[in-house]
Amino acid sequence: MMKITFPDGAIREYAEGSSSLDIARSISEGLARKVLAASVDGQVWDLSRPILQDSSLKLLTWDDPDAKNTFWHSTAHLMAEAVESMYPGVKFWVGPPVDNGFYYDMDMGGQTITEDDLRKLENRMSELSKTNNAFLRKEITKADALQYFTQKGDEYKLDLLQNLQDGAITFYTQGGFTDLCRGPHIPHTGLIKAVKLLNVAGAYWKGDEKNKQLTRIYGVSFPSQKELDEHLTMLEEAKKRDHRKLGKELGIFTFDDDVGPGLALWMPNGTVIIEELEKLAKETETAAGYKRVVTPHIAKESMYLTSGHLPYYQDSMFPPMELDGVKYYLKAMNCPHHHKIYSAEARSYRELPLRLAEYGTCYRYEQSGELFGLMRVRCLHMNDAHIYCTKEQFAQEFRAVNDMYLKYFKIFGIEKYVMRLSLHDPAKLGQKYINEPELWLETEQLVREVLINSGVPFVEVPDEGAFYGPKIDVQIWSAIGREFTLATNQVDFAQGRRFKLEYTTRDNSTDTPLIIHRAPLGTHERFIGFLLEHYAGKFPTWLSPVQVRILPISDKFMDYARSLEGKLLKLGIRVDIDDRNEKIGKKIRDTELMKVPYMFVVGEKEANEGKVAVRRQGKGDLGAQDVSEIIANLKTEIEHRQ
RNA sequence: GCCGUUGUAGCUCAGUGGUAGAGCACUUCCUUGGUAAGGAAGAGGUCAAGGGUUCAAUUCCCUUUAACGGCUCCA
């Protein structure tokens, strides 16, 4: 007998060699039907795999992330089985579970798959699942595995095998499909009741663009049709929050073929938001001791040679224009310009830290396939600043920047984010990173300490640093689930020396300042794109392009509406009047759809009593209020940035 | 940049080898209506651009361009 410990601490005895499924069955048949995989001593196992010794056991059902992953991984195998049966000769690479589903990469040998084909594949998978074929695990020697795939002529699996140790190799077979796979899998295909194949895409083999491109099919599956339907509904809802859709509906921004890809045009409503954000940034930065500067959109090639950007980033810059034999580049970053402002005057340690801020306009030649709404554009406005400080001041300055992020996140209600400490890869010194191995380690440790001391949770990611130093990126997620870098905070130990930036120290010698590059609000483009999705277009009053819309019951009350409008305008409240010849219901509906936070309905009663009938977007009628009262409330709400 | 899909009115979308339609929006008129769509009429399109096949192309083919789904990249 062996002792099995359950998550609640209970210990029960079972015959050696009992499987997790046996154990589940001993608890209840219902559980045995529901359970998908088992966690044995912390490792996810097939349910059918015999347990041979005392272990802790957790039976995993659908709600457990490990079970979901196992379920989706098994579905990937099911899909591969369907593909193999419909497209003979296809070679498979890997088919892992991902955040919301699974994919399988395959070499279709020149065959293409269309959307219609996906429906056919789904049907085939549904047929195959009904066979209730078990996922059979088989340990196999490396020699036998090599022979199997050599015979099959499958160079992809042979490539995978090369990196595997003999003795740790397993095959899984369900029905007629056998795959090299470490598992684990759910017990049988019949558990996969609902499958949706979402899209087909190209993916480079091993993620390297120099390699052949494989066909990747993404899908998602569930233990019941109901859950699939719910998931699909959720995806539809997410689409409604897509900033590209909302941006068009609300008149925030637009793109035009004649202007060019990735070059956003900000419409009046979007410009209001930009100006509110800039106001916030200027207030915040002024209070934190920043000074504003303004610099040109272009600069000579020589400056980017000095900065060191050109060799690293030339491909991502717009090609230069040549004037009198001199090349000029559109600026892709503001830092060199700011460095020139630093070096324009002799600096003393008494001036440091010197903080130069600018909503600088940058142009980046992003690859055409990378453009994505406002999130990835070719013309962008960075909430940029550069802080020049001594080594002693660094920790405090860096931390102050992080605190500024958190302050902003609070204002915007941003709760889901991850701070990533991006480090260099020693193997790429001199290529991707400036070749200063000791400075790298020293600075990385400096930043790490600041983060630890400020108690902000973070993850470390190798090989993600800027070329001139380590950085902290703040990752956020769009409504469609795409991940973006919002804010960035970078240390730069390289450019100061390259630009010969100096200051006179207390003992009358000279030193080079450390530089912090920071952009807490990222860019107008990305931040407003994010806010659109974050608020689902329902901006808080202080950011709303139109804060109040006055809705006269009929044009008899237009004079009263106009006098109200005048009052609000004088107070700097963004107000307009729906003066169309429409009924009040129609005006309300349209104003609701435009997500204007406040509606003032005015008719005979209100005009006579000097009141307005207040209606809050999404909340309905709030009843009549005195004009002075509602105006005071509005002012407060806006001033507090609510 | 690569793989795949798509491009018809301001927006959302039908449709066709014989030069186009709906709803919303827009204009005008009727209506002056009390909390999520009042009625009528009208105007609006080189069917993304260029080339080819054809008696005839918005429709079929090719190229370009843009957007979308991914991959790669992301200062």
B62 C1' to A112 CA distance, Å: 20
Say what the pLDDT of residue A619 is: 93
Distance of C1' in B16 from CA in A116, Å: 23
CATH number of A253-534: 3.30.930.10
ipTM of the complex: 0.94
pLDDT in tens, A492-541: 988 999 999 999 999 999 999 999 999 999 999 999 999 999 999 999 99
% of chain A at pLDDT higher than 90: 71
Q: Which chain B positions have some atom within 7 A of a protein CB?
A: 1-5, 11-12, 25-26, 29-38, 65-75
In the 563-602 segment of chain A, residues within 7 Å (Cβ) of strand B are: 580-586, 588-590, 592-593, 599, 601-602
Domain A2-61 architecture: Roll (3.10)
Cβ neighbourhood burial of A231 (10 Å; 0-12, 13-18, 19+): middle
Asked whether residue A316, judged by its CB, lies under 7 Å from any atom of the DNA or RNA strand B, the reply is yes
Q: What CATH number is given for A66-238 in this structure? A: 3.30.980.10
Contact A297, A328 (CB under 8 A): no
Helices and strands, number each (H, E), in chain A? 20, 33
Residue A116's pLDDT is what? 72
Below-50 pLDDT ranges, chain A: none
Q: Which nucleotide is nearest to A332 (CA to C1')?
A: B75
Q: Look up residue A286 and give its two tokens.
A: 């002024």
Cβ of A268 near strand B (distance < 7 A): no
Q: Is the CB of A259 under 7 A from strand B?
A: no
Portions of chain A given CATH number 3.30.930.10: 253-534
Residue A556, CB, strand B, below 7 Å:
yes
Q: What is the pLDDT of residue A431?
A: 80
Q: Could you tell me the distance in Å between the CA of residue A386 and the C1' of nucleotide B74?
A: 21
> Rounded CA gap, A356 and A412, in Å?
24
Return the nearest residue to B72, CA–C1': A209
> Mean pLDDT across chain A, nearest whole number?
92
Domain A548-639: top CATH class: alpha beta
The one-letter code for the residue type at A200 is V
Q: Cβ of residue A112 near strand B, that is under 7 Å?
A: yes
* Closest nucleotide to A367 by C1' from CA: B1
Give the pLDDT confidence of A527-584 residue by residue, as tens digits: 999 999 999 999 999 999 999 999 999 999 999 999 999 999 999 999 999 999 999 9
Where are the domain boundaries for CATH 3.40.50.800 in chain A? 548-639
**Which residues 203-232 in chain A have a CB closer than 7 A to strand B?**
203-204, 207-209, 213, 215-216, 218
pLDDT of residue A207: 87
Residue type, A547: Q
State the span(s) of chain A assigned CATH 3.10.20.30: 2-61
Lookup: tokens for A228: 């699939």
